[in-house]
Amino acid sequence: MTEPTDFALYLDFDGTLVEIAPRPELVRVDPALPGALERLRTRLGGALAVVTGRPIGVIDDFLAPARFDIAGLHGVERRVDGVVSGGGAENHPELRARIAGLTAAVAGLDAVLIEDKGASVAVHWRLASPADAALAEAAVKITADALGAAYRLQLGKAVGEIVPASATKGQAIRVFAQAPPYAGRRAIFLGDDLTDEKAFAVVNASGGVSVRIGAAETIATRRLATPEDVRRLLYAWADGAPIDPDALPPA
């Protein structure tokens, strides 16, 4: 029989713990979520981490007053046991030099948003017209191509983000899995977007359980329909229900 401490739990944020919002800053966090995650982290012996495209500080603000291990900016920055590494904008001068040009390229587009994260930059077009969305996607692709092999373009749900080439959620999970309390445990990762597929591949290869949120095509082995379903599951686990990810619906 498995015990909670047999598992390491990795959680995406947007579209997984919270519903997607029209603008990144407008997501709503269920008031019960931070406390439930803290209880679940205790059951897991500390092996709970958020793996997200957001900066660490933004996740801290949303989940305050709780503080969790986090891989932010797709793993560019990490916090483990309170120690933060990576993620400084000063380490990415080539990217910084392109921000103004990208901002100018989309300035005339309606409802297109630039999200400057320091070590990465995202262009959002969720509320844009199809024509402006296409122009926004083209602009971020041009910028990514100009940066060369050190950076890559990561496309998601109505967003394109330029990140360091070495940064993926899959690699972030590999790094977590090399150290206590994550080492030697079976990984569970929940995510909802194209950016999570690389993490699903890593988790699948290690014999873990990958869970896609929503109906999209995926390599994940399990599926939940909505963030509300995710929260319902996590709240149950936090309050003592058996942790049995293999019992989740197949993808």
| pLDDT, tens digit (0-9, with 9 covering 90-100), for 60-94 | 999 999 999 999 998 889 999 998 887 778 888 99
What is d(CA 137, CA 139) in angstroms, rounded to the nearest whole number? 5
Q: What is this structure's pTM?
A: 0.85
Task: Specify the pLDDT at position 45.
Answer: 97
User: Is the per-residue pLDDT at 103 higher than 80?
Assistant: yes
Per-residue pLDDT band for 222 (boundaries 50, 70, 90) equals: very high
Q: What is the rounded CA–CA span in Å between residue 185 and residue 243?
A: 13
Res 174 pLDDT > 90:
yes
Q: Say if residue 171's pLDDT is above 80.
A: yes
Q: How far is CA 123 from CA 26, 103, 135, in A?
A: 16, 9, 11
| Vertex 141 angle, CA 124 and 87, to 5° | 65
State phi, psi for 210 to the nearest 5 degrees. Answer: -105, 135
Catalytic residue, chosen from 12, 14, 192, 196, is 12
Per-residue pLDDT for 1 more than 80? no
In the prediction, which pLDDT does 212 show?
98
Predicted pLDDT at 2: 86
Written as six digits, the tokens of 158 are: 């109505």
Which H/E stretch holds residue 71?
A: strand 69-72
| 69 assigned to active site | no
Instruction: Please work out, in degrees rounded to the nearest 5, the angle formed at the alpha carbon of residue 169 by the alpha carbons of 163 and 175.
Output: 110
Q: Residue 89: its pLDDT value, please?
A: 80
Q: With H, G, I as helix, E, B as strand and everything else as coil, classify residue 111.
A: coil
Token pair listed for 64 = 């305050």
pLDDT band at 11 (very low <50, low <70, confident <90, very high): very high
Q: What value does the mean pLDDT of the chain take?
A: 94
Label residue 157 by pLDDT band (50, 70, 90): confident
